[in-house]
Structure 1
Amino acid sequence: MTLQIRPATPADAAFAAPLIQATIGAIGYALTGEAEDEGAARVIAHFFAQPGNRLSAENTLLLEEGGEPLGLAVLYPGDRAEALDEPFRRRLRALGLPDRTEPEATPGELYLDTLAVAPPARGRGLGGRLLEAGVARAVALGLPRVGLLVEDGNPAARLYARHGFVATGPRRVAGKVYTHLARPA
């Protein structure tokens, strides 16, 4: 069967939300105000179906084979990060929680917020295909680079290095230290 990368739709939320939460972990808790994966994924599913936030379907590419979703990439221009986090800050305020969201993206880049492949589909080079689709999107948007964060020890760092990403410095987000990586588009 043929692999296809297509724009996600709100109907993809049931596949996307748990996979996004499993990938972003502590950041998902910080964004949603939830303390466990199931609750965070439920909130992410709600936001995925809504436009105008960082985890929206409108910012997501879905990789599928024969109509079955296998992976995704959530990408948005770094210049829009502050505005795309506002819906999450509103939710946190409504819950009586601090509404601070640490910046992840850098202005001037297409920020890869989440890259995830479903566990049964891993090891097939699908993450690399999604990365290259992200680079193509950056080119189409006229952005000079793609950036992302990776946690120390994450095996995906090898994938990023193979695709030309290099470290630009540390970032602290949701109480953890990540390394910001970037590559030219």
Structure 2
Amino acid sequence: MNMQHKIAPAVRAATVQDIPFLAKMDVEASLPPFGTSFWDELLEGTGTDTLTFLETMFREGASNWGAVPDFLILESDGAPVATCAVFPPEPNPTNEGPLNLDKLDQIAWALCWSDDIRTAFRAAYEKVWSGDTVFLKPQADLIVETVAVAPDHRGQGFGTALMHAAFARGRTLGAESVGIMVIHGNDGAQALYEKHFEPYATFHSAYFEHQFPGLTKYRASLTSEKE
């Protein structure tokens, strides 16, 4: 009989050396349930591919949804296989969504964008991430974002390990609660989150004028983790 012993993955904080991996996992996290990343559409006409843009975003510290040190990295056999960001939300953010537009000039300079390209990208981004964004209001002391497992390592329990690692970091930071959200149709992620969190609020498709499938936000107490 071939018996294999599972070894718990190593958990560590991300460093700048992990930026290429974080960019790839950001893409993976943005794919479900549509099959394409919203970044691809936003970057049309810029001459910049999504991975290059995301690497630049992380290097310039322009991610609203977790700076590099906020990311947890799970390793198997010494290689990164999964990640998520755990961070305190901004109480009064100056702009919404995953990108800090206040640093767009830095990103544009690093990517050698013209003023026209920068302006067009800003307009495309604001069209998506403006208007009624009450659904982004934080529901917990800490937020978990950009949850992703490398495609060839799925189905091996790394998603559950990520959730436990996120809760452990939350306790280390002295937080009392942690929140996460999922787009409707991302069934795998939703099944995972419901094992560890309680539903907090649901925004149905009608809320988004049926232009978006809706989403559910979850919350968990760090004093009574749901197992």
Deviation at 1:41, TM superposition (A): 2.5
Give the C-alpha shift of residue 158 in structure 1.
1.1
- Bigger Rg over Cα: 2
Match of 1:24 among 23, 30, 35: 30
For this pair of structures, how many residues does the alignment match? 182
- Change in 2 beyond 3 A, CA 1:152/1:108: closer
Paired residue for 2:166? 134
Residue matched to 1:114: 146
Q: Distance in 1 between matches of 2:82 and 2:92?
A: 23
Q: Partner amino acid for 1:157?
A: Q
Greater shift after overlay, 142-151 or 39-48?
39-48
Distance in structure 2 (CA, Å) of the matches to 1:32 and 1:81: 28
Q: For 1:159, give the aligned amino acid.
A: L
Q: Distance in 1 between matches of 2:82 and 2:144?
A: 14
SS in 1 for 2:156: coil
Residue pair 1:112, 1:148 contacting (<8 A) in 2 also: yes
- Share of identical aligned residues, percent? 22
Match of 1:147 among 174, 179, 182: 179
**Superposed CA offset, 1:109-128 (max 9, x none):** 21111111001111111111
Unaligned runs of 5+ in 1: none
Tell me, what secondary structure is at the counterpart of 1:78? coil
Whether 1:70 and 2:81 are equivalent positions in the alignment is: yes
CA distance in 2, matches of 1:81, 1:52: 16
Higher strand share: 1
Residues 33 and 95 of structure 1 are in contact (CA less than 8 Å); yes or no, is this contact kept in structure 2? Answer: no
RMSD after superposition: 3.3
Matching residue of 1:4: 10
How far apart, in 2, do the equivalents of 1:87 and 1:157 lie?
A: 24
Partners in 2 of 1:106 and 1:76 — Cα distance? 11
Structure 2 runs not aligned, ≥5 long: 1-6, 106-114, 223-227
Q: Answer yes or no: is the 8 Å Cα contact 1:49–1:56 preserved in 2.
A: no
Query: Residue type of the partner of 1:128?
Result: T
Query: How many angstroms apart in 1 are the aligned matches of 2:99 and 2:185?
Result: 31
Q: Which is helix-richer, 1 or 2? A: 1
| Conserved? CA contact 1:29–1:35, under 8 Å | no
Normalising by structure 2, report the TM-score: 0.67
Which is worse superposed, 56-65 or 103-112?
103-112
Candidates 77, 101, 107, aligned match of 1:89 = 101
State the distance in 1 between where 2:94 and 2:62 align.
8
Partner Cα distance (1:81, 1:60) in 2? 22
Question: Does residue 56 in structure 1 map to residue 56 in structure 2?
Answer: no
Question: 1:32 Cα shift?
Answer: 9.2
Q: What's the offset of the Cα at 1:157?
A: 1.1
1:75-122 Cα shifts (integer Å, max 9, x gaps): 211236826969632329943433445463516421111111001111
CA contact (8 A) 2:86 2:170 kept: no
CA contact (8 A) 1:152 1:178 kept: yes
Contact 2:40 2:49 in 1 (8 A): no
Mapped partners of 2:21, 2:199: distance in 1: 31
Kindly indicate whether the alpha-carbon contact (under 8 Å) linking 1:79 and 1:108 is maintained by their aligned counterparts in 2.
Answer: no
